[in-house]
Amino acid sequence: MVNRFTLTALSLALLPMAAQSASPDAPLHVWTRSSKDGRKTYDAIAAAFTKKTGIRIEYFNALNDYEQRLARAAVGGHMPDVIVNELGTVGQLVNMGVATEIDRTRIAGSEDLLDSAWKAATLPDGKVYGVPTSVQTHVLFIRKDWREKLGLPVPRNWEDLAQLARAFTERDPDGNGRRDTYGLAFPGGATRGYAAWYLSSFLFQAGGEFQRAGPDGKMHGALDEPTAVATLSLFRRMVCEEHSVQPNAINATTQETNKVFSSGQAGLYLSGPYHIALFDKEPGKDHYEVVPLPAGPNGQRASLAGGELAYIARNTSQPERAKQFVEFLISPEGQALGTRPPAGGLPVVRLPVNRKVDAAQAHGDERWAMVAQEYAEHGHPLPQARNWSRLQQLAADGFNAILAHCSKDIPGDLRALNARFNAELARQEAQ
């Protein structure tokens, strides 16, 4: 889920291509896309790394404007030494000229990382520019107390999900005598590509893809396929006909939607397992359950598989120390520290990428065993592309417009969207 940002040739020319050696006591500058609570966990990792190596870490963390800050830093030639960001940003950082190609054989511990994590980090040309530090997959959060009060089962397919969402909307599951609850918490806004990111699991469950390889060996958009029509039709029904999503869902970001679920406004939320710790606080561990996603129309199971990568900046003056920090992040010690937040913190390693670290044991929570199983058996990554962020934004804009206007010509609108998607694919191929 990343904002698109571009750099002109002039901007790229401002990037320093050769770095001077840093002072031996200079800190290592690390930027992370994380919240204040996630920063607390990164601070604990930094303290352990400094104790072990003597290398000091200076962090910068941000969430909503992280990508814009990276772009400004790149233009000014003031990039950090290490960047930790979402998997979908790899093509973008390569295009910006700020990420160093990774030789896996020179990364200590790389052989212990999940093959699926390395595969997701590999661009179509076979090159790797980021080291996986964490992986995850979508799961379904349900207000268990509401579901049990209404006597309804855990949803196993799309129709079960729609029925449960409608029941949470119409049958007063919180028992306050008012019709003020909703079914599905839905971050349907186009900002940072949220609508496409959220709907991707459903698209994959329907058997769809954003793009497919054609007979010419090139990638072509797949957003006009019947699978995409089925996905958007399900959500048009819930948004426009049954009104079983929260008000203003079409403009909502994930941060806003988190509060919709935690505050008891809606009783279903498809999201990443990083919200387990958040929702254990509110609405409270005893009030909700976390379960696998339901199957698609033909029984297909799929859930979006994402994660984070650590990039070593091309202009770093401390490449070896930057590599040491990345190696610590993926080590069993670093991975375990990332799953165990200090007081008030949140995990920054969701599913460990290191095979030597068991997810449930590391988190001290058996629910993570289910998450790990879902990732291994049904995880489906987003495509890698020269600039996936731009493609995801195009898809999100199109999906959002269909649902915002309650389109009755979903096939036609998707054909038009797919034409724009193909034009962008062609543009990126020509770069």
Domains 9-135+305-381 and 139-304+386-430 share a fold: yes
Do the beta carbons of residue 121 and residue 132 sit within 8 Å?
A: yes
Helix axes 332-339, 36-53, angle to 10 degrees: 150
Domain segments of the chain as ranges: 9-135+305-381, 139-304+386-430
Q: Which residues contact 2 (CB under 8 A, 6 or more apart)?
A: 67, 85, 86, 88, 89, 92, 192, 193, 389, 392
Q: What is the DSSP letter of 340?
A: S
- H-run or E-run covering 73: helix 66-76
For position 21, what pLDDT does the model report?
Answer: 58
Do the beta carbons of residue 46 and residue 350 sit within 8 Å?
A: no
3 state SS of 50: helix
Paired tokens of 416: 């038009």
Paired tokens of 18: 């050769």
Question: Selecting from 3.40.50.2300, 3.40.190.10, 2.40.30.260, 3.30.450.30, what CATH number does the domain 9-135+305-381 have?
Answer: 3.40.190.10
Strands (E), 282-412: 289-291, 303-312, 379-381
What percent of the chain has pLDDT above 70? 95
Domain spanning 139-304+386-430: which CATH class is it, in words?
A: alpha beta
pLDDT tens sequence for the chain (431 residues): 434 333 333 333 333 333 445 677 899 999 999 999 999 999 999 999 999 999 999 999 998 788 888 888 888 888 999 999 998 888 888 888 889 999 999 999 999 999 999 998 998 889 999 999 999 999 999 999 999 999 999 999 999 999 999 999 999 999 999 999 999 999 999 998 999 999 999 999 999 999 999 999 899 999 999 999 999 999 999 999 999 999 999 999 999 999 999 999 999 999 999 999 999 999 999 999 999 999 999 999 999 999 999 999 999 999 999 999 999 999 999 999 999 999 988 999 999 999 999 999 999 999 999 999 999 999 999 998 888 989 999 999 999 999 999 998 999 999 999 999 999 999 998 77
For position 78, what pLDDT does the model report?
Answer: 86
Q: Which residues contact 373 (CB under 8 A, 6 or more apart)?
A: none
Query: Cis before residue 283, ω within 30 degrees of 0?
Result: yes
